[in-house]
Amino acid sequence: MIDLALLPDGGMHWLDASGPKSSIVLSTRIRLARNLQGYVFGQRARDNDRTAILTRVEEAAAAGERLRGAVTFRLDQMERPDRQLLHERHLVSKELAGLDRESRPRPGAALVVGASVGVMVNEEDHLRLHGMRSGFALEEAYAEVEAIDAELGRLLPFAFHGEFGYLTSCPTNVGTGLRASVLIHLPGLVLTREIQKVLQGLTQVGLTSRGLYGEGSDVVGNFFQLSNQTTLGKSEVELLDHLGKIVRQVVEYEEQAREVLLKTAELTVADKVWRAYGLLRYARSLSFEETMNLLSGVRLGVGLNLIPGLSVYTLNKLLIFTQPAHLAALEGRPTGDPELPTVRAAYVRRVLDTEAA
């Protein structure tokens, strides 16, 4: 079992609900795709290439200022529960962690993680730098990742093309290699049935929306990830500006939808959110999916000031720690324990008993 305390600040600062608009926008995430000259890209990289790349990244981290003290997690040498834990913490992708059925992490697959930024090594690209911040904070999140990118760029030969920009394994990432995304909670737009219209609008302006766990994952609990689709032909600042404007608008739509709900259906909404609270408070068995849906209801209730005495931080924490690998680690159980739904319900009750006023 890995010691999560090894993660500087436990990788959890983005949970603390301290950022702007954090009752609607849980977190902002920046990812930069980088590759090293002289090594084969992506799937075709041989094992010794991959190991060499990891060594170079670790050396660069140690040589620079900003990643000094970073910890390396060798996914290719870790048991599945630990890999799942890092994935649930949003620190590594499902692919890097080899969590798909019958897959394993490929040799050299690793996470090098510092105080606020992590580097996935040997994912689809040689390096994927990423950082998360609480709430809606594109500039701040980008600044952190950019600083480390700049430092690593001085120490490592990033593959860069004068015309195209940073070269990547998949052409959709060429250029800036930047993907910026926000994890956003849109129950108002779902309840007022405007969500489809909004999501279609997003596609038209170059944004994509996905579920909580990235590409191909389901939307559960009205949590959406919104991110830019293109990386090429615009500068980082332009991409962030564009995404920022659109997300700001989506946040406004959500706020308006919530006002409409309060005006036209306060009782129905209050009933819905309190029922969710009642179930979390008393259920004896909870699947993670149901927990997310109930947390979504309670989060809306807290956002609308219908449920007092409960913090968004508590809800964020529950969202992370009720995931299978987190819960199992926390309670000293095997990840596949059939009793996890019972353990989950007991954990949720304990947290709400302690933290709800």
Neighbours of 158 (CB within 10 A): 19
Q: How far is the C-alpha of 211 from the C-alpha of 226, rounded, in Å? A: 9
* Cβ-based nearer residue to a second copy, 159 or 310: 310
Positions that interact with a second copy (CB under 8 A): 267-268, 270-271, 274-275, 277-285, 342, 345
Q: Nearer Cβ to a second copy, position 220 or 265?
A: 265
Burial class (CB in 10 A: 0-12, 13-18, 19+), 132: buried
Tell me how far, at minimum, the Cβ of 188 lies from a second copy, in Å. Answer: 18
**Shortest reach from residue 270's CB to a second copy, in Å:** 5
Smallest gap from Cβ 275 to a second copy, in A, equals: 5
126, two tokens: 């040689």
Environment class of 201 (CB within 10 Å of its CB; exposed 0-12, middle 13-18, buried 19+):
middle
Closest CB 139 distance from a second copy, rounded Å: 40
Q: Write down the least CB distance from residue 298 to a second copy, Å.
A: 10
Q: How far apart (Å, rounded) are the C-alpha atoms in residues 326 and 1?
A: 11
Helix residue ranges, H only, 64-137: 80-88
Shortest separation between residue 339's beta carbon and a second copy, angstroms: 9
Which of residues 166 and 277 has its CB atom nearest to a second copy in the complex? 277
Select 26 or 306, whichever has its Cβ closest to a second copy. Answer: 306
Rg (the chain; Cα; Å): 21
Q: How many residues does the chain have?
A: 357
Which of these, 275, 278, 274, 300, lies nearest to 345 by C-alpha position?
Answer: 278
Helix, strand, coil content of the chain in percent (nearest 5) = 50, 15, 35
**Range list of H helices, 118-235:** 138-155, 187-191, 195-204
Nearer to a second copy, 274 or 313 (CB): 274
Coil, helix or strand at residue 281: helix
> For the chain, first and last CA: distance in Å?
34
Least Å distance, CB 345 to a second copy, is 7
